Amino acid sequence: MILITLFLEFAGLSFVAFGGATALLPELHRVTVDHHHWLDDTTFTHLYAIAQAAPGPNVLVATLIGWEVAGLGGALAATLGLCLPMSVLIYGLVNHWERYSGQRWQQAIRLGVAPLAVGLVLSGATLIAQAADFHGGAWVIVLVTVVLNLRYPALHPLWLMAAGAVIGLSGGL
Amino acid sequence: MSTAQHNIPPSATEPAPTLTALFWGFSSVGLSGFGGVLPFARRLLVEKRRWMTAEEFNAQLGLCQFLPGPNVVNLAVIVGKRYQGLWGALVAPLGLLAGPVLIVLVLARLYDHYGAWPPVQNLLRGLAAVGCGLLFAMAWRMARAIPQKQVFWPFTVFTVSAIALLHWPLPGVMATGLLVSSGLAYWTLGRK
């Protein structure tokens, strides 16, 4: 039963996931922590951290949430739920797409989505900070990450994550 | 329909990849990216294997980014369908996800066993802080790329207020925001 609920919740979310799974973080939190109480705040931020540190597309955070909620079946149900609806839709749409490309309504939606997607990513960042209950040290790491990532785009994020993990290990965050 | 097919130029490049090639090609893409794999998909498809030209890649990516959902998975469906039909559309995303899902499941089992151990909690806290910083940086970069900022940034403020402060459900917020914001964009496009 919980597998069906998981699949349907994530399938529903896939229709509003403009900007991919990253933009979906706040809603994933609302549904899994606030609404269903499947996870607590700490576990949610931990799963996000693990997904960030693992190779692969951003969808994997859904795989992890599914696993924590209902084991292997949950992991598959959540991943499929998030991927399947749009995959089916795009499979049907792709041959008709070229006809509409460049039309005014299409440009308008593309322009209109962008500021909302920014808002979603920003909300996701705020949410992680809130759920993890960051204090002084953690905020310094957040700030340093932002500055380094923007100033040195060639610096691989993996180095920053490794540094963050080591600093975290030393305690005091 | 026929016009649609006319608009897609035949691939000027290599012979159509087999199902096996699609699976392993997308596996390598999935396993090489951290926090998003799109650049790696481009490198494989356009530069390394030459399954599509840069223009074709941009056009197809346009559709993927236009629709909600995981962009790279959608791209795998498109590329798979294009070369091997329905089977390709199944095998390419499967290749993309299989390896990373296995890895993440191993990490999840480790987390279940050792997650309560304080050093692991500290490590994950450090990782989460960096992850949070990367999100802020990404939002900043995306915001900088928006044209006509004074017109569209208010919609960013609207989204953050509704989602982060008021915790409203996403579907309603997106539907409302999208309608007004795209409507405004449609209007400004017409004035040019």
pLDDT digits (tens, 9 = 90+) for A76-109: 999 999 999 999 999 998 888 777 777 888 888 8
A118–B34 CB contact, under 8 Å: no
Query: CB–CB of B33 and A57 under 8 A?
Result: yes
Q: What is the mean pLDDT of residues A127-152?
A: 93
- Predicted TM-score (pTM) of the model is 0.87
Check whether B13 has a pLDDT greater than 70. no
* pLDDT for the residue numbered B14: 66
Measured between alpha carbons, how far is B95 from B22 in angstroms, rounded to an integer? 8
**Which of the four pLDDT bands, split at 50, 70 and 90, describes residue A114?**
confident
Are residues B4 and A98, on separate chains, in Cβ contact within 8 Å? yes
Task: Identify the closest residue of chain B to A139 by CA–CA distance.
Answer: B129
pLDDT given at position B8: 46
Contacts of B170 (CB under 8 A, 6+ apart): A13, A16, A24, A26, A27, A30, A120, B163
Q: Which residue among B67, B119, B167 sits closest to A86, beta carbon to beta carbon?
A: B67
Mean pLDDT confidence for A65-71: 95
In the predicted structure, residue B6 carries a pLDDT above the cut 60: no
For residue B178, the surrounding DSSP H or E stretch is: helix B170-191
Distance CA A102, CA A2 (A): 43
Instruction: Give the mean model confidence (pLDDT) for residues B110-130.
Output: 93
Q: A-contacting residues of B 58-87, CB under 8 Å?
A: 59-60, 62-74, 77-78, 81-82
User: Using CA atoms, how far apart are residues B25 and B30, in angstroms rounded to an integer?
Assistant: 9
User: What pLDDT does B160 receive?
Assistant: 94
Looking at residue B89, its pLDDT comes to: 95
pLDDT tier for residue B192 given thresholds of 50, 70 and 90 = low
Contacts of B100 in chain A (CB under 8 A): 54-57, 60
Asked if the Cβ–Cβ distance from B68 to A16 is below 8 Å, we say yes
- Chain A residues in contact with B174 by the CB 8 A cut-off are 16, 18, 116
pLDDT reading at B35 higher than 90:
no
Mean pLDDT value of segment B172-183: 92
> Which pLDDT value is given to residue A126?
93
| Cα–Cα distance list, B23 to A149, B88, B89, B90 (Å) | 32, 9, 10, 9
Q: Which of A98, A127, A170 to mutate to test the interface with B (most CBs of B within 10 A)?
A: A98
| In chain A, % of residues over pLDDT 70 | 100
Q: How many helices (H) and strands (E) does chain B have?
A: 8, 0
Q: What is the pLDDT of residue B9?
A: 47
Q: Regarding predicted confidence, which is higher, B108 or B8?
A: B108
Å between A150 CA and nearest CA of chain B: 6
| Whether pLDDT at B154 is above 90 | yes
Give chain B's mean pLDDT: 86
Nearest-angstrom CA–CA distance, B15 and B51: 8
pLDDT: which is higher, B139 or B8:
B139
Query: For residue B191, is pLDDT > 80?
Result: no
Contact between chains at A112 and B183 (C-beta distance less than 8 A): yes
Mean predicted confidence (pLDDT) in B43-53: 87
Cβ atoms of A98 and B7 within 8 Å: the answer is yes
Cα(B43)–Cα(B26) distance, integer angstroms: 11
- Give the side-chain half-sphere CA count within 13 A for B49: 20
Q: Report the first-to-last Cα separation within chain A, whole angstroms.
A: 39
Evaluate whether B36 touches A58 at the Cβ level (below 8 Å): yes
pLDDT at A154 over 70: yes
Question: Taking residues A125-136, what's their average pLDDT?
Answer: 91
Contacts 24+ apart (CB under 8 A), A142-150: A142/B129, A142/B130, A142/B132, A142/B133, A142/B136, A143/B133, A144/B133, A145/B129, A145/B130, A145/B132, A145/B133, A145/B134, A145/B136, A145/B137, A146/B133, A146/B136, A146/B137, A146/B140, A149/B133, A149/B134, A149/B137, A150/B137, A150/B140, A150/B141
B172: Cα within 13 Å, side-chain hemisphere:
6
What pLDDT digit, counting tens, does each position of B74-95 carry?
999 999 999 999 999 999 999 9
